[in-house]
Chain A
């Protein structure tokens, strides 16, 4: 969410900036003797080379709050016959991502970007199964590159995504920093479990992860 605030604010308010703002000039290196600088100079003193306009932002809390993304409320995957609700989730007590108890419900990691944000991975996960059997996300590994995924936000907006990658990886090797990356090009990431089930521990060995790009953008 932070990402959309900073990026959108810069774009939005640059458009509102005074048209008289002159572009920052690129100055010749300053000729200053070391004697005029403080004793604790870290590096060489020289003029900053600032190319183009310096971004200027409004700082009112009301403006910031208006630029937050809407959370997702519905997830549809027509090719798999999936149409399921999405709720906000956070962290479980053990530091893993909180997952809705029922496999029929998907959870969006609310501490990261939302689908539709300007940057970063919007992560949605669901249990592959629950006490009643397989859930919709058990079918994620049947997705193909090019399949469509739809998200409906809390404000009723429909967002479309196209699958670029489906991977299944041992949990010992999954890099969570990458799955939850906030700075990469905006991506919808669906996560569940798969592979062999460890009957002693009650866990699956692998994560199944689907990456999908917003329609209208090129895949990385």
Chain B
């Protein structure tokens, strides 16, 4: 192993893998849970295993992420002035969380407009360098929709309570949602950044009939990839050993080319 510490403390951080811990998307041994409140006009308290965990939870807000021990949890939503979860407005429902996984529990309306709770699993598997993941979830009281990015349909015929996802080049996209087969947007267009190493989860929520349709965005880290290297030099001028006899021809060729285009040439011999 050849690391020279030129300045500063010898941290040895550039030594080979085996010493490096990969970035963890979910805490070791735990499960990650977020909760999205997607039911318009209804602030609630959220009870988990009979404990008031999220107090006065507002529609459109996202709670968490919470790191929880893997297991099954009972979730109930009550009115905000409830003393306990004995008379919930929604639930109780049991949700099972597995180790190393990332979840979002969503309280939302069915297509018909009835309230319910759904547990979605967030895909945090590795994304390639330069790519992010886009997930779209239909959690609105509305018919099937098409999802548009930069003026073209990216996913079509998505219905409640389903999701679609795909990995795309990391960039900011103009996103919009239309009813399936139509072109006029019912949501957006709005700029959504799909960042490298992130699962950007876009929810359509609310009610078409009540004109409360809205977009919610949640971001969850995936296991991200780095560039494979940094190749930052191609000419040999900084060669530690100096310019070898065998390389003189290469230098002269570069010199002829540089003079040919009228450029100045700096050659440093070490």
In the complex, what residues of B have CB within 8 A of residue A165's CB? 5, 7-9, 11, 13
Question: Are the C-beta atoms of B66 and A54 separated by less than 8 Å?
Answer: yes
**CB-based nearest B residue for A107:** B232
In the complex, what residues of A have CB within 8 A of residue B224's CB? 182
- The total of interchain contacts (Cβ-Cβ below 8 angstroms) comes to 320
Q: With A27-B50, A54-B64, A59-B203 given, is the CB distance from A173 to B1 under 8 Å?
A: yes
Q: Interface extent on B, as a size class?
A: 35 or more
Q: How far is the CA of A183 from the CA of B221 in the complex (A)?
A: 10
Query: Interface on B for A, CB 8 Å cutoff?
Result: 1-9, 11, 13-17, 19-20, 22-24, 36, 48-57, 60-66, 68-74, 94, 96-99, 129-130, 170, 172, 175, 190-193, 195-198, 202-203, 215-219, 221, 224, 226-241, 244, 246-247, 250, 254, 257-258, 263-268
Question: Are the C-beta atoms of B66 and A50 separated by less than 8 Å?
Answer: yes
Question: Are the C-beta atoms of B216 and A48 separated by less than 8 Å?
Answer: no
Residue A217 interfacial (CB < 8 Å): no
Question: Are the C-beta atoms of B51 and A25 separated by less than 8 Å?
Answer: yes
CB-contact partner of B14 in A18, A132, A137, A207, under 8 A = A207
What is the interface of chain A mostly: helix, strand, loop, or mixed? Answer: loop
Question: Are the C-beta atoms of B244 and A199 separated by less than 8 Å?
Answer: yes
Q: How far is the CB of A193 from chain B (nearest CB, A)?
A: 4
Q: How far is the CA of A5 from the CA of B218 in the complex (A)?
A: 10
Q: How far is the CA of A100 from the CA of B246 in the complex (A)?
A: 28
Q: How far is the CA of A61 from the CA of B52 in the complex (A)?
A: 29
Q: List 28 A-B contacts (CB under 8 A).
A: A1-B193, A20-B56, A38-B72, A47-B50, A54-B63, A59-B62, A96-B231, A99-B231, A129-B234, A129-B238, A131-B257, A133-B267, A143-B6, A143-B7, A163-B8, A165-B8, A167-B3, A167-B4, A167-B11, A173-B2, A174-B229, A176-B230, A177-B23, A179-B226, A182-B197, A183-B23, A194-B238, A199-B236
Question: Are the C-beta atoms of A199 and B247 separated by less than 8 Å?
Answer: yes
Question: Are the C-beta atoms of A56 and B229 separated by less than 8 Å?
Answer: no
Question: Are the C-beta atoms of B197 and A111 separated by less than 8 Å?
Answer: yes
Question: Are the C-beta atoms of B228 and A94 separated by less than 8 Å?
Answer: yes
Q: How far is the CA of A151 from the CA of B135 in the complex (A)?
A: 35
**CB-based nearest A residue for B196:** A111
Q: How far is the CA of A3 from the CA of B165 in the complex (A)?
A: 22
Write out, one digit per residue, whether chain A residues 152-183 have a CB within 8 A of any chain B CB (1) or not (0).
00000000000111111111111111111111
Q: How far is the CB of B222 from chain A (nearest CB, A)?
A: 10
Q: How far is the CA of A89 from the CA of B232 in the complex (A)?
A: 13
